A and B are shown apart, each in its own frame.
Chain A
Amino acid sequence: MKLRMLMLCALLSGAWSLQAQMNKIQFVEYTLDNGLRVILHQDKTTPIVGVSVMYHVGSKNEKPDRTGFAHFFEHLLFEGSENIGRGKYSEYVQNAGGTLNANTSWDRTFYYEVLPSNELELGLWLESERMLHAKVDIKGVETQREVVKEERRERIDNQPYGSIVEKVFEKAYQEHPYKWPIIGSMKDLEAASEGDYKQFYADFYVPNNAVLSIAGDIDIEAAKKLVTKYFGGIPKGKKPVYRPEIKEPALTGETRDTIRDNIQLPAVVHAYRIPAQGTKDYYAVSMLSTLMSQGQSSRLYRSLVDEQQKALFVGNFPLSMEDPGLSIAFGITNMGVDVKDLEMAMDAQMERVQKELIPDEEFQKLRNQVENDFVTSNSTIIGIAESLANYKVYYGDANLINTEIDRYMAVTKEDIQRVAKQYFNKDNRVSLFYLPKSAKP
């Protein structure tokens, strides 16, 4: 099973991890005595159900000498439990005609199954086993350590430009745990004892650190009873969950570096420090990158790919993060174009936004695009379950699934110009040139 990590996806698929839609989504929410928050959304159009658990633990909750734990658990917790044999998680789900997967970010870990609706109880059993008494032992650790090493080779070391996210975070942060990669250090994973793993499980995989979000063809009252049956008896965590409160000092000047990689075409990377998700400025930053990158008529694409033909690909992607994060601009040069030339052209486009207000018509296009993405984003029940859990975990308000669009629509042209000046300047960025390893003619 290949379990994806969110960071690359966020970078490649664009900005819109914050989601909601125009038709109001109804849901019920409540909290069990052990602190587990439960969200139920009924949608009877198709007889399927999405069962998901979001744990509020990501790489930022790790200790500096035990990095990679959050992601490692995403692997480890498919190994089985007291009542589920090794490797049987996926067999149960496939036999029932369902699918399953999981992913990890800097801030949270997400597990889900999509099943026929008469298998809701199976999904609850599987997820409650994972929360109550998963198998965390040395055998599973050793197996998954090898798998994670392969994952790292395949997705970071062996992937052209695969190290970008890791490199920019390492350079953009000095204090905050965002400075280490989600996949972590293989050394840390090897140095860790079985006790370390057991402790991490006891600390973070507790009901009071999780949201159980269920969407689909369910009967609300029957679902509530089953939730109590499977999750009611899971004991609460013994101590408060560790949440780092580390303020990263502002960048005070441009950091530049050159990375030699196994690539054919040089690339420019600009990582700008931006505000945390959910803040007023984050929404403006997000719309700024739509202006720059979305569609063939976007500013970067039209000017650098179509007209000047300096880039093969170019875009700017803000990462939505719980603490102040990064927006990563990334351009691959066209054959024979110098990286510096592309960098100047990318900067020129940003300067244009800083100097000139966006014309009315283009601003309207931007709002139309944002609205379209917003509406389209929640077209599957598992997508809705995940969005509801996200809003609950990060903002304590699942109803943002219906109302967050208002925050985007409140952004003005002046806001976009202001954030372009405030955050997208050279003193607030890390700049990397990716060059082919061999300086071959």
Chain B
Amino acid sequence: MKIFSKYGSVALLVMGMALQLAAQNNDFRKQAPASGPAPKIEMGAYTEFVLDNGLKVIVVENHKLPRVSFQLSIDVPPFKEGDLAGAADIAGQLLSKGTTTRTKAQIDEAVDFIGASLNTSADGIFGASLTKHKDKLIALMADVLLNPAFSEEEFTKLKTQTLSGLAASKDEPATIAQNVSQVLNYGKDHPYGELTTEETVGKITLQDCKSYYDNYYRPNRGYLVVVGDISVADAKKIAQQHFGAWKKKEMTMVNLPAVQGPAANQVSFVHKTGAVQSLIYVTYPVDLKQGSPDVVKAQVLNTILGSGFSGRLFKNLRETKAYTYGAYSTLQQDRYVGFFNAEASVRNEVTDSAVVQFMQELELLTKEKVSQKELDLAKNQISGSFSRSLESPQTVARFALNTSLYKLPKDYYATFLERLKAVTSEDIIATAKKYIKPGNSNIVVVGDKDASAEKLKAFSANGKVHFYDIYGTKINMDGAVVPSGLTAEAVIDSYVKAIGGKEALLGVKDMSTSMTTSAQGQTIGMTIQRKAPNKMAMTVDMSGMMLNQTKFDGVKGEVSQMGQAQPMDEAGLQELKDQSAMFAELEYAKNGAKLELKGVEPIEGKDAYKIEITSASGKKTVDFFDKATGLKIRSIETEVGPQGPTTSTSDYEDYRDVNGVKIPYRLKTVGLAPFPLIFEVKSVEINKGIEDSVFQVK
């Protein structure tokens, strides 16, 4: 017993010690370990020199990987392109589309052969490759820089692409809000307030692109930034050899008009029929230049307000109020004039409530000091992201370029973290008072005016909501009132009259319309044949090859793709039924469609009556009829799909008389295909006697 007990106690003792050890071992896990001493952040070094033609060269040597990149940037002074806005962008893209000795295909081949990349734009050229291919790459870069072909064919392609891009973005709330903010913040007389539109692109000629290149693609305001596995001596040799002969030419610096924010809050609204969300911008210009001691304070301030998931805007509008998926802000410095913007997309019903929250958050910053915890979190986020960005040698190059461009002190970035650390909550409130202007903002909203415009009057100093088109031109929505007593039926009647009158329309027994459109470089033909009362056939072909044929004999429908026919499904059939009438407007009453006159809206500068048509099957269409001519100028169809409602917009133009009936000869659609389509009518034939067999469904 005794021995046992002795051993037992020893065992207990050992066990106890072990337990204690284990407890100690686990104690260190209870809380996060303390940080080690802060590491020294060292900037990589760089070398700078200037060629005789004025080209500044910055070299960042970094031999970690056997790669080199060359970034040629031109510090193009801001200037107005006027009615040729967009020429510079097209000129920049044209550079890599052929030189005097290489076609586009040959350039692609040469770049791929060495596994390199090469891109050109309005203000520079970027290329990167393995060290061993750098001579070939730089030769290609110099070729596109100095000997661009400016081929008419490639120019036309780029112009078409630019136009498709503009048309596609017409529906994007973000593009619209940016357009309008630019115009309101800087004014149309400032280069920053200038917009590229279909009109300006239409006017650009190849010569304009050549002039831009000739005037601005010059070394005297240029920077060649060389980064990677290359010695300074080599970089010097390469720069001299390939860019030494590049001729300089003085550029004119225009005087920029002074920019001032709004004297008091004003609400600017862009109406988008059927929008389910309002995109809100609270924005104004700021005078905050690179190198100002305010820049770092402004960065901390903006991080606290709205740079990410932990920003106040995000926490308030998303986490607390659930108005939006995300709310953010930007406070951007700029050499000439910067801007502030706070933004969120919110559902229609809470548009005004969201503006209230935005304004409260802005005011709070100017009234209350931020807590130490909030300040520290923001500073930690900024310093962390600064340190991590130094992993890329491109960051050092960017710092070097900024230092030169903005004439910053040489140690500006080296001392960044010190300046960040020194920012206090007193600084933040002082900076907020200077740059956060809840009483001098442009409140820009893109949304459905019927759903949200009225309630926004309260935020405007003059009690008014001003309406704008998508390019920031003020339009008058107030004057557009519906004459009293006017009904939807009367609008439809006057439309029927405008296109020839009921009698003439009833006299149309059959009609065949052929049109073409071009998409992605292909010409597509479409022929629609109709026969009273409700037969329809449609064929789509490309280069004489039939792609799709749809037939409806009044009861049954079928669709064939590449010669294989299949019966129409339920939904398709309903749609065909809805569309099969020769002139749907004549049959609204008979088919049980409901009409509602929703008001007057300007469409492409013309006041138009807005009529909502709800078919018996529940499908909604909104048509717009020109107040002056009575003609239908736009139609918006809404389809409710599994991803929510989608809309397609068709514009009707160029009405021409055919057998006493007015037919639109141009049709523009957005929303049917991933890109906008413009159909040009080639021929319309009325009462030529179309056989029933054309519509026959097997």
Q: How far is the CA of A372 from the CA of B113 in the complex (A)?
A: 11
Residue from B28, B115, B559 in contact with A229 in the complex, judged by beta carbons closer than 8 Å: B28
Counting chain A residues whose Cβ lies within 8 A of the other chain, the interface size class is 35 or more
Instruction: Select the stretch in B9-17, B362-370, B518-526 that faces chain A.
Output: B518-526
Contact with B along A78-99 (1 / 0, CB 8 A): 0000110000000010111111
Taking CB atoms and an 8 Å cut-off, the chain A residues in 301-349 that contact chain B are 302, 306, 309, 312, 334-338, 340
Residue from B39, B114, B392 in contact with A116 in the complex, judged by beta carbons closer than 8 Å: B39
Q: Any chain B CB within 8 A of the CB of A13?
A: no
Whether B642 and A309, one on each chain, are in contact in the complex, defined by CB atoms closer than 8 angstroms, is: no
Which residues of the other chain, A, contact B569 by a CB distance below 8 angstroms? 438-439
Which residues of the other chain, B, contact A121 by a CB distance below 8 angstroms? 33-34, 36
Whether B391 and A336, one on each chain, are in contact in the complex, defined by CB atoms closer than 8 angstroms, is: no
Which residues of the other chain, B, contact A195 by a CB distance below 8 angstroms? none
Which residues of the other chain, A, contact B111 by a CB distance below 8 angstroms? 295-297
Q: How far is the CA of A54 from the CA of B45 in the complex (A)?
A: 36
Whether B32 and A92, one on each chain, are in contact in the complex, defined by CB atoms closer than 8 angstroms, is: yes
Whether B115 and A371, one on each chain, are in contact in the complex, defined by CB atoms closer than 8 angstroms, is: yes
Whether B390 and A46, one on each chain, are in contact in the complex, defined by CB atoms closer than 8 angstroms, is: yes
Q: Any chain A CB within 8 A of the CB of B130?
A: yes
Whether A334 and B522, one on each chain, are in contact in the complex, defined by CB atoms closer than 8 angstroms, is: yes
Contact with B along A355-378 (1 / 0, CB 8 A): 000000100110011111101101
Q: How far is the CA of A376 from the CA of B34 in the complex (A)?
A: 36
Q: Determine how close the nearest CB of chain B comes to the CB of A10; give it in whole angstroms.
A: 21
Whether B388 and A48, one on each chain, are in contact in the complex, defined by CB atoms closer than 8 angstroms, is: yes
Given A47-B41, A309-B521, A380-B391, does the pair A119, B380 have CB atoms closer than 8 Å?
A: no
Q: How far is the CA of A128 from the CA of B29 in the complex (A)?
A: 9
Q: How far is the CA of A83 from the CA of B174 in the complex (A)?
A: 44
Given A46-B390, A309-B521, does the pair A96, B384 have CB atoms closer than 8 Å?
A: yes
Q: How far is the CA of A386 from the CA of B388 in the complex (A)?
A: 17
Q: How far is the CA of A122 from the CA of B34 in the complex (A)?
A: 8
Whether A335 and B39, one on each chain, are in contact in the complex, defined by CB atoms closer than 8 angstroms, is: no
Contact with A along B97-116 (1 / 0, CB 8 A): 00000000100110111111
Whether A375 and B41, one on each chain, are in contact in the complex, defined by CB atoms closer than 8 angstroms, is: no
The winner among B34, B114, B115, B383 for most chain A CB atoms within 10 A is: B115
Which residues of the other chain, B, contact A264 by a CB distance below 8 angstroms? 673-674
Whether B384 and A371, one on each chain, are in contact in the complex, defined by CB atoms closer than 8 angstroms, is: no
Taking CB atoms and an 8 Å cut-off, the chain A residues in 148-164 that contact chain B are 158
Residue from B25, B28, B524, B548 in contact with A441 in the complex, judged by beta carbons closer than 8 Å: B548
Q: How far is the CA of A114 from the CA of B185 in the complex (A)?
A: 39
Residue from A46, A118, A128, A372 in contact with B115 in the complex, judged by beta carbons closer than 8 Å: A372
Whether B33 and A122, one on each chain, are in contact in the complex, defined by CB atoms closer than 8 angstroms, is: yes
Whether B36 and A438, one on each chain, are in contact in the complex, defined by CB atoms closer than 8 angstroms, is: no
Which residues of the other chain, B, contact A124 by a CB distance below 8 angstroms? 33
Given A83-B31, A125-B32, A335-B519, does the pair A365, B113 have CB atoms closer than 8 Å?
A: yes
Which residues of the other chain, B, contact A82 by a CB distance below 8 angstroms? 29
Q: Any chain A CB within 8 A of the CB of B571?
A: yes
Q: How far is the CA of A373 from the CA of B380 in the complex (A)?
A: 34
Residue from B29, B380, B559, B643 in contact with A129 in the complex, judged by beta carbons closer than 8 Å: B29
Whether A97 and B381, one on each chain, are in contact in the complex, defined by CB atoms closer than 8 angstroms, is: yes
Q: Any chain B CB within 8 A of the CB of A262?
A: yes
Q: How far is the CA of A439 from the CA of B37 in the complex (A)?
A: 66
Residue from B113, B388, B572 in contact with A368 in the complex, judged by beta carbons closer than 8 Å: B113
Which residues of the other chain, B, contact A114 by a CB distance below 8 angstroms? 388
Q: Any chain B CB within 8 A of the CB of A214?
A: no
Taking CB atoms and an 8 Å cut-off, the chain A residues in 102-135 that contact chain B are 114-122, 124-125, 128-129, 132
Whether B520 and A368, one on each chain, are in contact in the complex, defined by CB atoms closer than 8 angstroms, is: no
Tally B residues with Cβ within 8 Å of A. 70
Whether B33 and A125, one on each chain, are in contact in the complex, defined by CB atoms closer than 8 angstroms, is: yes
Given A83-B29, A335-B673, does the pair A309, B116 have CB atoms closer than 8 Å?
A: no
Residue from A21, A265, A380 in contact with B674 in the complex, judged by beta carbons closer than 8 Å: A265
Which residues of the other chain, A, contact B130 by a CB distance below 8 angstroms? 368, 371-372, 375
Which residues of the other chain, B, contact A294 by a CB distance below 8 angstroms? 112
Which residues of the other chain, B, contact A23 by a CB distance below 8 angstroms? 64-66
Whether A45 and B64, one on each chain, are in contact in the complex, defined by CB atoms closer than 8 angstroms, is: yes
Taking CB atoms and an 8 Å cut-off, the chain B residues in 22-50 that contact chain A are 25, 28-42
Whether A369 and B522, one on each chain, are in contact in the complex, defined by CB atoms closer than 8 angstroms, is: no
Given A97-B385, A118-B39, A368-B115, does the pair A336, B542 have CB atoms closer than 8 Å?
A: yes
Given A97-B380, A99-B388, A364-B113, does the pair A309, B522 have CB atoms closer than 8 Å?
A: yes
Q: How far is the CA of A202 from the CA of B374 in the complex (A)?
A: 39
The winner among B129, B130, B383, B569 for most chain A CB atoms within 10 A is: B130
Q: Any chain A CB within 8 A of the CB of B561?
A: yes
| Closest Cβ neighbor of B519 among chain A residues | A335
Whether A47 and B521, one on each chain, are in contact in the complex, defined by CB atoms closer than 8 angstroms, is: no
Which residues of the other chain, A, contact B42 by a CB distance below 8 angstroms? 47
Q: How far is the CA of A47 from the CA of B42 in the complex (A)?
A: 8
Q: Determine how close the nearest CB of chain A comes to the CB of B650; give it in whole angstroms.
A: 14
Q: How far is the CA of A369 from the CA of B114 in the complex (A)?
A: 7
| Closest Cβ neighbor of A43 among chain B residues | B64
Q: Any chain A CB within 8 A of the CB of B547?
A: yes
Q: Any chain B CB within 8 A of the CB of A244?
A: no
Which residues of the other chain, B, contact A365 by a CB distance below 8 angstroms? 112-113, 115
Which residues of the other chain, A, contact B310 by a CB distance below 8 angstroms? 94
Which residues of the other chain, B, contact A115 by a CB distance below 8 angstroms? 384
Q: Any chain B CB within 8 A of the CB of A379?
A: yes
Closest 7 CB pairs of A and B: A97-B384, A372-B115, A47-B39, A118-B36, A295-B112, A335-B519, A441-B550
Further 19 A-B residue pairs, CB within 8 A, beyond A23-B66, A336-B524? A46-B391, A47-B41, A48-B390, A116-B387, A118-B37, A120-B36, A121-B34, A262-B643, A296-B111, A297-B105, A297-B109, A297-B111, A302-B108, A368-B115, A368-B130, A371-B130, A375-B66, A375-B67, A441-B548
> Would you give 28 A-B contacts (Cβ < 8 Å), ordered by A?
A47-B39, A47-B40, A47-B42, A97-B381, A99-B384, A99-B388, A116-B384, A117-B39, A118-B39, A122-B32, A122-B33, A125-B29, A125-B33, A217-B39, A297-B105, A297-B108, A302-B105, A335-B520, A336-B524, A361-B113, A365-B112, A371-B115, A372-B114, A373-B115, A378-B65, A438-B572, A440-B572, A441-B550
Which A residues lie at the B interface, using CB under 8 A?
21-23, 45-48, 82-83, 92, 94-99, 114-122, 124-125, 128-129, 132, 158, 217, 229, 233, 262, 264-265, 294-298, 302, 306, 309, 312, 334-338, 340, 361, 364-365, 368-373, 375-376, 378-381, 438-441
